[in-house]
Amino acid sequence: MSIGLIALLDDIAGLAKVAAASLDDVGLQAAKAGAKAAGVVIDDAAVTPRYVVGFAAARELPIVGRIAWGSLKNKLLYLLPAALILSLFAPWAITPLLMIGGAYLCYEGSEKVFEALFPHKAHEHEAAVSEATQTAQSLENEKVSGAIKTDFILSAEIMAITLASIPVGSIWMQAVVLAVVGIGITIAVYGTVALIVKADDAGVAMAASNRPRALAPLTQALGRGLVKGMPILLKLLSVVGTAAMIWVGGGIIVHGMEGYGFAGLGHAIHDVAVAAAHAVPALGGFVEWLVSAAASGLFGLVLGALLIPLIHFIAVPLIKALRGTSRKSEKHTA
């Protein structure tokens, strides 16, 4: 064998080792970044099932599939390149964009609370917003669209946390890690959601099954338990999902304010949470998180409540006026 060929094989072996090390590095960084984004991932999983409630069983998985596909496009087609471009050329823009998204989450979550407390007035508000911002479409399309919009904000937070967790290095390495985290989280979240929304159907099948005969009483009892328990779980997840939207949105705004020098609220929340954790040392970590989430949620609820009349009395009339002007110009042009 010629010396040149041996040298070439050595080079190939060296490249293979580098590639393997790079893959290991991607996996390690993706795992670390995914762990740091776990809180938002849980919020995402809690938010989504409420968009499927009320539809026929045959439409549940297709709806979850449409939302999952929209989520994947959010992460890979829009947020991944946007995150890389902003981090390179305009890192200062990431925080205000996230804060705008956080305000949207606060508004959406507070609107759900408003609907629960004042259903008649909430329907009037939703009708006004729908008339101004949407064309006629089916309830399913509206639900899917709303879910994908909410997912966009939560996905943006996940991608931002992931990007911040990746050591400064090659932009291609950052892109690969973001893609791995985005795909992995989407599969995990919407796979879990699919299992949750179809658990009651599995319960019906188990309750009606006589096989295997030896275990039939146990499987039938488990099936009946699923049928009775899943509607309660879905309602609970709907409540948790609404709360998650508000506390994630409020938390984004609070952290953003700290970055602009308004750290008083963030420090106050942290101090209260730490004091509460010290009062219950056995559950210190959980208590600190709970108090921080509750405080961020309260702030988000107040902010969202302020945004509801602003949207109803200012944004909606403005959109209507702009639409009317646009239609008049189109008629004049025609």
In whole angstroms, what is the distance from residue 79 CA to residue 39 CA? 19
pLDDT band at 34, cuts 50/70/90? very low
Q: What DSSP assignment string belongs to 94-141?
A: HHHHHHHHHHHHHHHHHHHHHHHH-HHHHHHHHHHHHHHH--S--HHH
Q: What is the pLDDT of residues 53-111, one digit of tens each?
A: 666 667 778 888 888 899 899 989 999 999 889 888 888 888 888 888 889 888 888 88
Using an 8 Å Cβ cutoff, are 154 and 47 in contact?
yes
Confidence label for 156 from pLDDT (cuts 50, 70 and 90): confident
Q: Report the greatest alpha carbon distance in the chain.
A: 85
**Is it the case that residue 25 has pLDDT exceeding 70?**
no
CB of 317 within 8 A of CB of 294? no
More confident residue, 40 or 29: 40
Pick the more confident residue, 51 or 261: 261
Does the structure show a pLDDT above 90 at 176?
A: no
User: Per-residue pLDDT averaged across 30-56, rounded?
Assistant: 58
pLDDT at 46: 61
Q: What angle do the packed helices 94-117 and 284-310 form, to 10 degrees? A: 80
Q: What is the pLDDT of residues 177-212, one digit of tens each?
A: 888 888 888 888 888 888 887 887 888 888 887 777
Q: Is the pLDDT of residue 37 over 60?
A: no
Tell me the domain boundaries of the chain: 23-321
**φ/ψ (deg, to 5) at 2:** -70, 155
**Interval 303-332: pLDDT, tens:** 999 998 888 788 778 877 776 665 555 555
- Encode pLDDT of 209-230 as tens digits: 777 777 777 888 888 888 888 7
Residue 13 confidence (pLDDT) above 50: no
Mean per-residue pLDDT, 31-43: 52
- Among residues of the chain, what percentage have pLDDT more than 90? 13
